[in-house]
Structure 1
Amino acid sequence: MKRLTALVLIAALLLQLHPVAFADDSDIFGHNVQPNVLIVLDNSTSMNDPKPSLEYDPAVTYPVVKKCNGSNCTSTVVYKSDTSTPPKYTQYATNSNSVSNCSDGANCPSARNALSTAGYWTGSIGGSTVHLFLGNYLNLANCTSTTCSDKKIRIAKRVVNRLFDNVQGVRFGIMKFWSNGSDNLGAELATDPLTGARTEIGTDVAALKRAVGTDETNGITLTSGTPLGEALYDAGQYYKGQPVHGTTRPNPIQLACQPNFIIFVTDGMQTRGTRLIPDEATLRYTQDHAPAITGVQNVIVDTVAFGVADAEQSAANTDLATAAKNGGGQFYLTGSEDELEQALQAAIRRIIAATFTFATPVLPTTSTTGLSRAYLAAFRSDPTRSFWQGYLKAYQRDSAGMVPVDANGVPLESAKIWDSGTVLSTMPSASRTIYTTINGNQQEFTTANTAIKAKVLGVQGKATANQVIDFIRGVDVFDENGNG
């Protein structure tokens, strides 16, 4: 196995790597890197259909609907669904306390508890799997009254706009489906109705919200067709700075260490276009979207299924889940306003967690307090990997205490005096000098040091502890490079 370089350095720093210079003659600089997040919002006509805008509350009795075997769904009655599409619901028990003979006991404690709180339960009764629903839950799930449901497009707009309002440190942009009325279709950036500007990544919150709008009559309006693959292709073209329907916009990718994401929110399966969303997600994740920047600038794709029609559930969810897997992201299945909001919040939490706050090579313009050297650490974040690639470099300050930089604030190569990767790549792991402290005492960080116990490293067993030590010393014990 090959030795690791930058990854070793990251871990070694955490273990108090023995300094190469005095503590008062160096500074380590960083800068907050904001991830790029492009939301692609389905605005097909099916988004005009209603969906629950409320979370199920067992204390509330919802308006009765006629969805239970052709009759009204009685709030307190338990119904069983069949496997047809859409499913049919027939009465199973007069109430939740009448459900019996489950696999966990004659009184079915798990089923009764779930039905009385969540409103539904799936499990084994009499050796067969059953899907049970309380009538009150079905009434909410199929409610078309404005007291408990709303159009999907309105729900999605509310949730997305709340996301813009409440998330900082992310560069948002938004696209919608596009069609010229013929076979040309895909996606395009939304338009701020006040200024006419497009909602490129980095657009301010007020403009984003104006472009999204509040309902189907303003902001993003409805269009026919669901061109999932074509839309994801156009999103990729935008990230590459390539023409999208004849218009070229600046590439939004600013830095080599900047994570790039697409969150694709849709309510159904593809109905138009020849490109397939799983294939396009693979290309987003594997292609370089900014060749002018060092390294491969890929785009991670998250998919969110929102209120998919029963008849499309299987095919649509399979495609969207596959697209997320191919795109290095996550798939979220949602059916209500609350679930959609939770999914987008989870996606953003994952994105932010993957963005290291000291990840850009841009230095501050103010003078520093140290004397001779400035140390610069940078990492390329990737939420799909346990370890991130990175480096540590040392730069010589000038007589004013400044690090010489170019017009973009990037340190000049001529000022670089030390590069950890270069040094470590020529140094065998056994020859590296790494220290840690145990009970206030400096200790050599080697497998031979019996003072370094597995418990100190937060692992179990000497073998695992030795793996951790060897990894930090530069041995690819976890096969990060994939060469076996």
Structure 2
Amino acid sequence: MNRSNCSASVFLTSVFMTVMTLSPVYADDTETLVGRTLPIAGPNVTIIIDSSGSMLSNVLVDGDTYMPDTTYTGPFNDASRLYYTFTAGDAIDFPDDTATAGNGWVRSAVFACNAAQIALNSTGYFTTRYAQFGDNSDGTGSWKALVAAGSSGPTSDTSPVFGEDRTTECSSDLGIHGLDDTSPATYPVNDSVPDDPATLGDEEANLYTSVDTAAERIDWDITGATYTFFSNNFLNWIHERAASGDPVVFTRLEIVQKVARNLINDLSADSIRHGSPLRVGVMRFSTNGSGGMVVHEVADVAVNAGTLIERIDAITADNNTPLAETLYEANRYYKGESVFFGSESKPIASVDGSRTGDSYNSPITSACQKNYIVLLTDGQPVGDTEADTAINDLVGTCTGSCLDELSVYLHTSDVASGIDDVQTIDTYVIGFFTDSDLLRDTATGEILYDADGTLLPAPREGYFLAEDPDQLADAFATIFGGVTADVSSFTAPTVSVNSLNRLTNRDTLYFTMFEQSRRGEPHWNGNLKAYRIGTAGTDDLAILDAAGNRALDDSGNFKPSARSIWTLVADGPDGGDVSKGGMASRLSASRKIYSNVTTSANLADLSNRVRPENTDLTKTLLGIDGATDDERTALINFAKGLNPDGSPRKVLGDPLHSEPYVATFSGADDDLMLFFGTNDGYLHAVDPTPATATEDLEQFAFIPKELLRQLPRIKENPPSTDPIGNKAYGMDGPITGWIQNDDGDGVIESGETLHIYAGMRRGGGAQSSYHALNLANRSEPKHEFEISRSRTGYAKLGQTWSPLSHGKIRVGGTARDVLFFGGGYDTNQDSNYTPDAMGNAVYIADALTGNKIWSASNSGEALNLPDMKFSIPSEIRIIDINQDGFIDRMYVGDMGGQVWRFDIDNFASDPADAITGGLLAKLGGTDAADARRFYSPPSVARFLEDGESFLTVALGSGYRAHPLDEDVNDRFYILRDDNVLGPELDDSGDPEYGDTNPALLIEDADLAVISDTMAVSGAFAGWKLILPGSGEKSLSAAITIDGRVFFSTYTPETPALSCEPVAAIGLGKLYGIDILTGLPTLYDDPDATTPVFSVDLDPAGIPPTPRLVFTEPTCTDCDTTVFNEVAILPGGDPIDPRISTSPIKTYWYQTDADGGN
């Protein structure tokens, strides 16, 4: 029996809370998670490429492939020479041969820069400030900029020292190295000294000093200039690579063109693959010093990839950097205004495709188009003032360059006044070998995620610094990843879904949470979080966070300030953030992941562990036959929850429909184990009461071997324009438990064994299955059995939606522990209301082996019922009518709107005659409005009225696969079943039901209609409530208590369409109705005196099954106190149903934690 705790405690049962968005039609209740929008045209992106003269600067690519110990062949063979080039900023000129090097060389003997010499021997080149001691015109000498070989510069000497023979020093040696390695004088002297070789004497004494003062040593900030020196071998390597057709020196423009070619090809392929249009155009600077022009109009990249690449490759570099002028021209292009700079630009005018005559053709064609400019430049504005007056007219007043003011204007102003809504332009900026506050201030593009969907660690949103080809490619990939993510994001922001779990005699609530993927990827993030239920200093029960504060706001959503119990204080509040805090934050690198890989039942055996060392975990089993060994290892480490560097991923899949199951061990208050499933394919076993704040919560995770083949797809996580069709499904089904040898207290003690049963729901594809685990030893869980369609006796098993409910029956006089479950779901019901090929069955299986004991269907089973044509995803409601410990009654509804009753004679001598059954009610019809389906089990209660005993069967209809459907007129039903102790018997003494005796069949038209203004009249014969909202439906089970029935409904909403995904969450309601009278019993306010039929629920969305919460008194008050501490937990904070619990002496039994029997 259930024992009351002498301290105040709470009895909880499971709750599933949802917050949804309106969507197109998908074959799943996840259709509510997809935002609905107006038609969206492909985004417009104009790339402005800097074509100024500085783009001819050379860049060394793959410099790390130079091997200094290898001798390369080429023209630089004079070991007595070191070549150099003048270096402006970071633009290095790499000579191809001695001719291009010209007279930029010095003799090795006079090169005194030790820092450079070290670098030349390794990397092959070194850039710093250099100076030579050279002749002055007054007959003296001093440190100055380098002069060419063969040149003496200004001097009065008749025998001058030429540049190649002058001592050459560098700033990097200051205070470190002098003329040679042993010299104590390491500072070049500041004074001019005689330069006559006859009087120079000791060169070290004249050119260097050991005194480190400004007066004595030179100031490198004003002495010499910046040069790059090269080793001969390095220059020969460059020459050799160029001669072989594999150059390593490119101009900046060549790099941009190469990266752009790859970018355009990739964008074209992605656009074709995903069916998402993307429109790209190109602009460049004019060579006549005024603005820029359109060299390719904005057009579909999939169709125009070839011409886009041709136009980019044709760009040449010359002249100034008119950044603001060219951005102003882009502004006129997007607005469809007259051509300004683009009519007289050189080498061409803006192309014909971008304009009609002298007016631009705006690329903006739709109110829902996104518009972007990507500005790539390697410098600051030069020769860039001709548009300032026009820009000032737009923005007001410019400060300095008008570039940043103009980009802000484009970001905040309507650039297409003839189109509905406000059309703006986001500007992304790539600083290519340059960085400045102006460029940062010009960036207005809001990049939240990169191409992989992770947060962008950029210095500023929309701005990127690129200093090599890879960084440039990454910048483009991130920008266009964000652009394409915007167009393929179907989900409304900040929408998360959560469910509250079942727990006995505890004050803790467990929320399974998830959020839909941003770009239609198969993996959805999930989490498990813990909160408490209490009073928070008031008399009202509420959901509380780790600090004891109310966790939910007035709308029923998590407050941003709420911190769940397992989330560390240092990690801050996690609120409704699915990915933050909770169990995911406590995942470690030493997780135990098991699978039923081999025939060994012990999952802890090496052969069943998911780890690279397990040779039984083959590439074929993982679905990667052609993979390398390294790829296999990487996939297995991913499955273990590891990042490539070995750190924990701290990521969980989504528990979309999985409701957790909690078991209590050894009678200890804190020895619990919680189980829940995710669509990444795992059944997680969790210790929800860890000893320390940092201890692992997960004890182990089990992934069925048939789901291992799904891991490569989850690891790759490819995006899709079909956000639901691409979704992965795994262990998303029901989880139940059975305590073998239970003494009745619900606690697993010595000699008792916990068995866990988990289904997949839509997971597993055609082989959706159930898996059973034995937890006799929690450190070594065992895989007991699997039930799937391929197993003998289960040919009609559909998707495993129906929970495995444990009970006892007698089979041939022998007591057996068995599992009751429906045949499951047939995806035919996703789009049709016709008989199903799968799932139209009821099963009873052995609880220890999974072997089928009995089944019913329309043919080929122990009990054949011709009308059992529709699948049965619902839980079977099982009842022990005579309280002898054996189940003798079953009720269940099906996808055809039918309700079935089965009777079990536990004393039958012939097992074949032990179970009979048939229709109790037929409540659906052939018209679309009557296409009613029952996904949830009925709540059954026993009543005594006027000396007669009868049962009420309460259940509601609704299209779970399409919650947004508004065609079906759904109902909530109370059916009266007068045959309490056994079935109706015909004249021969044989059982008969509604399908064999029409007089016993309850049909929709037979039931009286009740409403908030119409109660039951006359003798009670059952009733129906026509759900009043458009599309209102019942999507979860009801509970019966105190002569009342409580159930929730969902009503979809259709908001006005807009350009952004709309969170059309819909309305949840809780109903409370007196079963016998049909009168309302709820109150919409604590002080209300008039009852109502229903109350609106927070948070909005599909509500869960309502659950009861009982606050128990202290033992000293048990016999005297009147209590009103029964509450209903509908998903948000509890609701008071005003149920009196004054203690009376009675005898009772409990077979259903949901409140029904």
TM-score, normalised to structure 1, is: 0.53
Partners of 1:449 and 1:144 in 2: CA distance: 78
Higher relative contact order (CA 8 A, sep 6+): 1
Please tell me whether residue 272 in structure 1 is matched to residue 378 in structure 2.
no
Match of 2:256 among 156, 165, 178: 156
The one-letter code matched in structure 1 to 2:439 is L
CA distance in 1, matches of 2:436, 2:1098: 50
Change in 2 beyond 3 A, CA 1:340/1:377:
farther
Deviation of residue 332 (structure 1)? 1.0
| C-alpha distance in structure 1 between counterparts of 2:22 and 2:432, whole Å | 52
Alpha-carbon distance in 2 for matches of 1:157, 1:18:
43
- Measure, in 2, the Cα distance between the counterparts of 1:163 and 1:304: 15
Among residues 45, 56, 60, which one is paired with 1:52 in the alignment? 60
Equivalent of 1:235 in 310, 323, 330: 330
Q: Deviations over 1:38-75 (max 9, x none)?
A: 10001112111111333745878899975895955324
2: CA distance, partners of 1:293 / 1:357: 23
TM score, norm. by length of structure 2: 0.24
- The answer on 1:222 being equivalent to 2:317 is yes
Judge which range, 252-261 or 297-306, deviates more: 252-261
1:90 partnered with 2:172: yes
Change in 2 beyond 3 A, CA 1:438/1:148: farther
Code of the residue aligned with 2:487 in structure 1: it is T
Pairs within 5 Å for 1:361-376: none
Cα drift, residue 18 of structure 1: 10
For residues 42 and 325 of structure 1, the distance between their equivalents in structure 2, rounded to whole angstroms, comes to: 19
Distance of 2:310 and 2:127 partners within structure 1: 44
Task: Return the alpha-carbon distance in structure 2 between the equivalents of residues 221 and 14 of structure 1.
Answer: 57
**How big is each residue's C-alpha offset from its partner over 1:405-458, in whole Å with a ceiling of 9 and x where there is no partner?**
xxxxxxxxxxxxxxxxxxxxxxxxx887724456998974535579xxxxxxxx
Rounded Cα–Cα distance in structure 1 between residues aligned with 2:51 and 2:469: 16
Q: 2:325, 2:1058 → 1: CA distance?
A: 33
User: What secondary structure is seen at the aligned counterpart in 2 of 1:157?
Assistant: helix
Tell me, yes or no, if structure 1 residue 166 matches structure 2 residue 258.
no
Aligned residue type for 2:467: G
Q: Could you say if the C-alpha distance between residues 434 and 220 of structure 1 is closer, same or farther in structure 2, counting changes exceeding 3 Å?
A: same
Partner in structure 1 of residue 294 of structure 2: 189
Letter in 2 for 1:286: T
Q: For the residues of structure 1 that align with 2:322 and 2:407, how far apart are their CA atoms?
A: 14
C-alpha distance in 1 between matches for 2:484 and 2:254: 26
1:91: how far off? 5.8
* Among candidates 45, 50, 74, match of residue 120 of structure 2: 74
Q: 1:326 to 1:202 in 2, by over 3 A?
A: closer
Q: Distance in 2 between matches of 1:16 and 1:326?
A: 29
Q: Contact 1:144 / 1:150 at 8 angstroms: preserved in 2?
A: no
**Contact kept in structure 2, 1:377 and 1:393, CA below 8 Å:** no
Question: Which one of 1100, 1110, 1118 corresponds to residue 434 of structure 1?
Answer: 1100
Q: How do 1:225-374 and structure 2 match up within 5 A?
A: 225-245=320-340, 247-274=358-385, 275=388, 276-308=402-434, 317-325=436-444, 329-358=461-490
Displacement of 1:249: 2.5
| Structure 1 residue 301: Cα displacement | 0.7
The alpha-carbon distance between structure 1 residues 325 and 300, as it changes in their structure 2 partners (threshold 3 A), is closer
Aligned partners of 2:259 and 2:473 also within 8 Å:
yes
Distance 1:80 1:52 in 2: 13
Distance 1:375 1:65 in 2: 74
The residue matched to 1:258 in structure 2 has which SS?
coil
Shift of 1:346: 1.4
Of stretches 372-381 and 282-291 in structure 1, the one that deviates more from structure 2 is 372-381
Q: What is the aligned partner in structure 2 of residue 474 from structure 1?
A: none
Question: Secondary structure of the residue that 2:284 maps to in structure 1?
Answer: strand
Q: Report SS of the residue matched to 2:440.
A: helix
The 8 Å contact of residues 44 and 298 in structure 2, kept in 1 or not, is answered as no
Structure 1 stretch 246-255 or stretch 68-77: which is displaced more? 68-77
Distance in 2, Cα, partners of 1:240 & 1:178: 21
Aligned residues of 2:52 and 2:317 also touching (Cα < 8 A): yes
Question: Hey, what does 1:212 align to over in structure 2?
Answer: 312
Q: Secondary structure at the match of 1:200?
A: strand
* SS at 2:431 equivalent: strand
Query: CA RMSD for the aligned pairs?
Result: 5.0
Match of 2:19 in 1: 15
User: Residue type matched to 2:283 in 1?
Assistant: M
Q: Distance in 2 between matches of 1:449 and 1:59?
A: 76
Equivalent residue letter for 1:281: S
Distance 1:149 1:302, change over 3 A: same
C-alpha displacement at 1:220, in angstroms?
Answer: 1.7
CA deviation digits over 1:110-157, x for unaligned, max 9?
Answer: xxxxxxxxxxxxxxxxxxxxxxxxx99xx99xx976432201111111
The residue identity in structure 2 corresponding to 1:200 is V
Secondary structure, in 3 states, of the residue corresponding to 1:354?
helix
Secondary structure (helix, strand or coil) at the match of 2:51 reads coil
When Rg is computed on C-alpha atoms for both structures, the one with the higher figure is 2
Instruction: Give distance in 2, aligned partners of 1:221 and 1:18.
Output: 51
Higher helix fraction (1 or 2): 1
CA distance in 1, matches of 2:470, 2:422: 36
| Contact 1:38 1:174 survives alignment (8 Å) | yes
CA contact (8 A) 1:32 1:357 kept: no
| Distance verdict in 2 for CA 1:154–1:352, change over 3 Å | same
Alpha-carbon distance in 2 for matches of 1:297, 1:58 = 51
Contact (CA 8 Å) 1:37, 1:201: kept in 2 or not? no
**Distance of 1:330 and 1:322 partners within structure 2:** 10
Are 1:176 and 2:184 an aligned pair?
A: no
Give structure 1 stretches of 5+ with no counterpart. Answer: 1-12, 83-87, 95-134, 191-197, 214-218, 309-315, 360-367, 382-388, 395-429, 451-484
Q: Distance in 2 between matches of 1:65 and 1:343?
A: 35
Partner-residue secondary structure (3-state), 1:163: helix
Distance 1:239 1:186 in 2: 16
**Higher strand proportion:** 2
**Superposition map of 1:38-49 within 5 A:** 38-49=46-57
Matched-pair contact (CA < 8 Å) for 1:177–1:188? yes
SS in 1 for 2:315: coil
For residues 370 and 281 of structure 2, the distance between their equivalents in structure 1, rounded to whole angstroms, comes to 14
In the alignment, the residues of structure 2 paired with residue 252 and residue 393 of structure 1 have an alpha-carbon distance, to the nearest angstrom, of 34
Q: For residue 256 of structure 1, report the CA deviation from its aligned partner.
A: 2.3
Unaligned stretches of 5+ residues in structure 2: 1-16, 73-81, 86-110, 130-169, 178-228, 272-277, 344-357, 389-401, 448-460, 492-830, 833-964, 968-1030, 1032-1052, 1067-1095, 1108-1127, 1137-1157
Partners of 1:61 and 1:232 lie apart in 2 by 49
Distance 1:334 1:262 in 2: 17
Tell me how far apart the structure 1 counterparts of residues 1135 and 256 of structure 2 sit (CA, whole Å): 57
